Amino acid sequence: MTGSTWKELGDLKRRSILEAIPAKWRFQHPVAPAEELRDVTGSYIQQFLTPREIEITETDAVGITERTTSGNWTAVEVTEAVCHRAALAHQLVNCLHEVFFDAAIEDARRLDAYFADHKKPIGPLHGLPVSLKDQFHVKGVETTMGYVGWIGTFQGKKVDLKRATFESELVRELRNLGAVLYCKTSVPASLMTGETVNNIISYTWNPKNRLLSSGGSSGGEGALIALRGSPGGFGTDIGGSVRAPSAFNGLFGIRPSVGRMPYEGAANSIDGQNLILSVIGPLATTARSLTLLFKAVLSQQPWYRDPLVLELPWRADIEERTRGLIKQSLNGSSSLAFAIMHHDGIVQPHPPIARAIELVKQTLTQLSHKVIEWKPPSHQLAIDIATRVFNADGGADIAYHLGLSKEPKAPQVIVSGELLQMNAQEIAALNVEKRQYQKLYMDYWNTTAEITGTGRPVDGVICPCAPHAAVMPYQYAHTGYTTFVNLLDYTSVVFPVTHADKNVDVPQPRAEFLSEVDKVIHEQYDPEAYDGAPAGLQLVGRRLEEEKMLTLAEYLGGEVKLMTCHELKQS
């Protein structure tokens, strides 16, 4: 391979991914181009599957484990169905980096044998196929993280005993829990962009509208799960990388606070940067599936295996208390209060997102919850701080890994190259700035206790995840809607609300703009191009409020779905 160009190496790897798919599952004819075939979800992909395969793959993770842990479905049958659908998904939108279906089916066979022997499942995820973003090391397969220079190496190192043998801590725990691992999903090289683009798989398209992006950096997860090629998987989020793909693909996804999910032994970008930490979070088709995955991992006590994980088991008392608040609301006397942030003072969202917010607001109001306006400290300051954090090393880490193969950097990457590195004092000062911003925001949140009427500050903030529904390539110009959450280290759950609809979401002429980028993004809106793109929103909670936010997201997601179905019927 020595002497090969990055292009040749990338092409070779791309072909090898395709070749890892069993011949029987490969398309014989090229798929129609996106211009002719935008939406490959639903009936389109179903045509290649048996009714049984459709039944299995369109069951959520909770539904699958209910059947696999009780012996109603075998792990092998579930795994084969999911592998088949994942194979189709990849051929439609380029969402996989690694395909190891044989190993998965072998694992599933062992799980079935265990169940037959012991009459009980090996763990709460027994027989559940789980997809993984290509940052997690799985024995027998590679981790490229989208870098051509990582092909045939361990994180860029040619000689390393860990290569193809080492497993990340999360992977070890998932195996303990009975999950079946079968693929790794695409990411942008560097991870630092909201689109999934690299010199291996090229671009991961949005299954609902293949003119659009599946989001990033966990874009492969988003696309794969949207096509039901996975019931749920794990991504990572340093600036929105779990949430953008969730919102852009009509999924639920959580960005937990630092210290809950075990990052130990996973590959990362700019590893060791210690001001805004990347965190692991699951993405899935239902909120209850997120809870299943999150809770299952905590049951492994990752705090004894990962020094950065906090000893915080799943707090059932908080879940119960939250369910109590919801129940009270159903009796008409709401004790829940939400804030709505229509825009962040920098960019007004496109019509589909503005409509999504109104939908949620209506839902909340109909449920007689208190709804207030969110008027937080400057989000521009949050962006300024986060941008300096991400660029603190002057792009040196990313430049190094791209340099291994001399491949070019995608223009979408938000980290500049060749900047000056910050020194220790500058980094310390930046960290103090960050803490002061966190304090400011925290104090603002506290003040809402005076107007909610519940005696508490707001229980969550509803806000856009991005100014647009699933984005057009090269047009993700404002990541501030997700990044402020990372800076604050808050919990945020994305939930699906609606889809862009060219007939409803007509462009609104505007004479005044919040900022230059506001004008740019306003002008980017094209109802025809965006038509059909999923539009999700964030439910943002405070730091380490995962139990509360997952419980609220399940409730809200359900209510919003009822509301939108109702509207659909009426129209």
Residues designated catalytic: 133, 217, 241
Question: Which range touches a second copy (CB under 8 A), out of 95-103, 206-214, 367-375, 439-447?
Answer: 439-447
Q: Are 139 and 173 in contact (CB under 8 A)?
A: no
Figure out which of the listed residues 157, 158, 406, 439 binds a second copy, where binding follows CB under 8 A. 439
> Closer to a second copy at the Cβ: 32 or 428?
428
Rounded least distance, CB 325 to a second copy, Å: 17
Q: Does 125 bind a second copy (CB under 8 A)?
A: no
* Contact status: 421 vs a second copy (CB under 8 A): yes
Q: Is 238 annotated as a binding residue?
A: yes
Binding segment (CB under 8 A) for a second copy, from list 3-11, 209-217, 340-348, 416-424: 416-424
Q: Is 264 in the site for a second copy (CB under 8 A)?
A: yes
CA distance 397 to 404: 11
The minimum distance between CB 310 and a second copy, in angstroms, equals: 6
Binding window for a second copy (CB under 8 A); candidates: 45-53, 110-118, 206-214, 304-312: 304-312
In the list 70, 328, 423, 447, the residue contacting a second copy (rule: CB under 8 A) is 423
158 Cβ neighbours under 8 A, 6+ residues apart: 152
Least gap, CB of 304 to a second copy (angstroms):
6
* Rg of the chain in Å (alpha carbons): 22
> Residue 154 or residue 205: which is nearer to a second copy going by CB?
154
CB of 189 to a second copy, least distance (A): 19
Based on the shown chain and the rule CB under 8 A, indicate whether residue 337 belongs to the binding site for a second copy.
no
> In this complex, which beta carbon is closest to a second copy, that of residue 215 or of residue 239?
239
Closest to 249 measured CA to CA, from 268, 266, 235: 235
CA dihedral 363, 463, 477, 136 (to 10 degrees): -100
Q: Which residue has the tokens 């991961």?
A: 204
Q: At which residue do the structure tokens 């860990």 appear?
A: 162
Q: How far is the CB of 245 from a second copy (least distance, A)?
A: 26
Site string for a second copy, 493-532 (x = CB under 8 A): ----------------------------------------
The label of the residue with tokens 């880490």 reads: 397
Is 191 marked as a binding-site residue? yes
Min CB(422)–a second copy separation in Å:
5
| 330 binds a second copy, rule: CB under 8 A | no
Which among 350, 475, 402 is positioned nearest to 191, based on CA atoms? 402
Half-sphere exposure of 122 (CA within 13 A, CB side): 25
Distances (CA, A) of 524 to 75, 318, 411, 432: 46, 42, 18, 36
Judged by CB under 8 A, does residue 545 bind a second copy? yes
Residues linked to residue 282 through DSSP beta bridges, in sequence order: 234
Residue that the structure tokens 């088709």 belong to: 285
What is the DSSP annotation of 48-62?
A: TS-HHHHHHHTS-HH
Candidates 26, 55, 304, 506: give the one binding a second copy (CB under 8 A): 304
404 touches a second copy by CB under 8 A: no
Does 334 appear as a known binding residue? Answer: no
Nearer to a second copy, 230 or 448 (CB): 448
Size of the site for a second copy (CB under 8 A): 45
CA distances from 529 to 17, 193, 350, 498 (A): 30, 21, 13, 16
Q: Considering the rule CB under 8 A, would residue 435 count as an interface residue with a second copy?
A: yes
Q: Is residue 488 at the binding interface for a second copy, with CB under 8 A as the rule?
A: yes
Select the residue interacting with a second copy from 105, 164, 308, 514 (CB under 8 A).
308
Residue 217 annotated as lining a ligand binding site: yes
SS3 per residue for 109-159: HHHHHHHHHHCCCCCCCCCCEEEEECCCCCCCCCCCCCCHHHCCCECCECC
Say whether residue 310 binds a second copy (CB under 8 A). yes
**CB burial of residue 566 (10 Å; 0-12, 13-18, 19+):** exposed
Please spell the DSSP secondary structure of 435-491, one letter per residue.
HHHHHHHHHHHHHTHHHHSSSSS-SEEEEESSSSSSPPTT-----HHHHHHHHHT-E
Residue of 493, 477, 60, 490 lying closest to 243 (CA atoms): 493
| Residue ranges binding a second copy (CB under 8 A) | 259, 264, 270-275, 303-308, 310-312, 392-394, 396-397, 421-425, 427-432, 435, 438-439, 441-442, 446, 488-489, 542-545
Binding-site residue set for substrate: 191, 217, 238-241
Q: Which residues are annotated as a binding site?
A: 191, 217, 238-241
